[in-house]
C-alpha cells in the first residue's frame, strides 16, 4: 500500500486508508465496541433469525441475512426492496440498537459525512465459502447518504471497484473491527466480498458478521 493512501491519526485514533475519493477504510474503528455490538446482534437475531434469501432469479444467497431498523432489505421472486415488516414473522424488524446507530454516525463523520442518520442496518453472516458478488447499493431512495460497513469476526477480502461493473476491482483485507465508508462520487461503486476462507475467530468462531448501515428512505 502506497504511503499516500495510508495515514495514522496517532496512537489513539484509527488508521485511515483512502480507497477512492469519498471512500475510506477505518482500521479497527469498531473494535472498542465489539462486545456491545455482538451482544446486540444476538438480541436482534433472537427476534429476527438469520435466513438465506432467494434472488429474483431464483438463486439462494450463500450469505445469511437479517435486519434491524425502521426498514429491512429483502429479496424474493418479486425483486429487491426495503420493507418495514419482516416477511417471516409478519412483525416490524427489531429496532436499531443505540450502539449501532452511534457507531455508524461516528464512522460516517470520521470519513467526512457528518449528519448521517441511518434508518436501516443489514446484518450479513458469512460462513466459510460464502461470498457476495459485485453489486451496487441502489435500492435506497436517498443516494446522497453514505454506506457504512462494519466487519466483525473472520477476516475477509473486500472487493471495491468503480461505477461500471467492468471497471478494475481492488482487493482489501478486512479484519475484525474494520469499517469502510463510501459515499459522494463513490456512492454507487461496485463492491463485493470474495469467498470467505475458513478459520476460527476468538469471539465469533467460524464466521464473519457484517453490518451495513444505510439511509434507505
Q: Tell me, what CATH number does 170's domain have?
A: 2.60.120.590
Is 11 inside any structural domain?
no
Q: Determine, yes or no, domain membership for 5.
A: no
Q: Quick one: pLDDT band at residue 56, thresholds 50, 70, 90?
A: confident
Asked whether the whole model's pTM tops 0.95, one would answer no
Neighbours of 62 (CB within 10 A): 15
To the nearest whole percent, how much of the chain has pLDDT over 70?
94
- Judged against a pLDDT cut of 90, whether residue 122 lies above it is answered with yes
Residue 13: pLDDT band (50, 70, 90) is: low
Q: Is 28 left (phi over 0), alpha (psi -120 to 50) or beta?
A: left
- 3-state DSSP helix/strand/coil percent for the chain, to nearest 5? 15, 35, 45
Let me know if residue 68 belongs to a domain. yes
The domain total for the chain is 1
48, 86 in Cβ contact below 8 A? yes
For the chain, how many residues are written? Answer: 217
The per-residue pLDDT for 55 is 86
Q: Is residue 7 assigned to a domain?
A: no
Give, in order, the Cα–Cα distances in Å from 39 to each of 19, 32, 42, 46, 204. 30, 13, 5, 11, 11
- Reported as a pLDDT band with limits 50, 70 and 90, residue 113 is very high
Assigned domain for 41 exists: yes
Q: Are 191 and 160 spatial neighbours (Cβ–Cβ below 8 Å)? A: yes
Q: Is the pLDDT of residue 1 over 90?
A: no
Q: Residue 90 to residues 16, 17, 83, 84, 189: CA-CA distances in angstroms?
A: 41, 41, 11, 10, 33
The answer to whether position 8 is within a domain reads no
Give the domain extent around 151. 16-214
For residue 133, being part of any structural domain is answered with: yes
**For residues 164 and 129, is the Cβ–Cβ distance under 8 A?**
no
Is pLDDT above 80 for 205?
yes
Residue 17 pLDDT exceeds 60: yes
pLDDT at 5: 35
Amino acid at each position: 500500500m502506497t504511503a499516500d493512501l495510508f495515514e495514522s491519526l496517532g496512537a489513539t485514533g484509527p488508521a485511515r486508508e483512502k480507497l477512492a475519493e469519498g471512500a475510506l477504510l477505518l482500521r479497527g474503528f469498531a473494535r472498542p465496541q465489539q462486545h456491545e455490538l455482538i451482544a446486540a446482534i444476538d438480541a436482534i437475531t433472537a427476534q429476527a433469525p438469520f435466513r438465506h434469501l432467494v434472488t429474483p432469479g431464483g438463486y439462494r444467497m450463500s450469505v445469511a441475512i437479517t435486519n434491524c431498523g425502521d426498514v429491512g432489505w429483502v429479496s424474493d421472486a418479486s425483486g429487491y426492496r426495503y420493507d418495514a415488516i419482516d416477511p417471516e414473522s409478519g412483525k416490524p424488524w427489531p429496532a436499531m440498537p443505540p450502539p449501532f446507530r452511534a457507531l455508524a454516525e461516528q464512522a460516517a463523520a470520521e470519513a467526512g459525512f457528518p449528519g448521517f442518520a441511518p434508518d436501516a442496518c443489514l446484518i450479513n453472516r458469512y460462513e466459510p465459502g460464502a461470498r457476495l458478488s459485485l453489486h451496487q447499493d441502489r435500492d435506497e431512495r436517498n443516494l446522497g447518504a453514505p454506506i457504512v460497513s462494519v466487519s466483525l469476526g473472520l477476516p475477509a477480502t473486500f472487493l471495491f471497484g468503480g461505477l461500471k461493473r467492468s471497471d478494475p476491482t481492488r482487493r482489501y483485507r478486512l479484519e475484525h473491527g474494520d469499517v469502510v465508508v463510501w459515499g459522494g462520487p463513490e456512492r454507487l461503486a461496485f463492491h463485493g466480498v470474495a469467498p470467505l476462507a475458513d478459520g476460527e475467530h476468538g469471539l465469533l468462531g467460524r464466521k464473519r458478521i457484517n453490518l451495513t448501515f444505510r439511509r434507505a428512505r
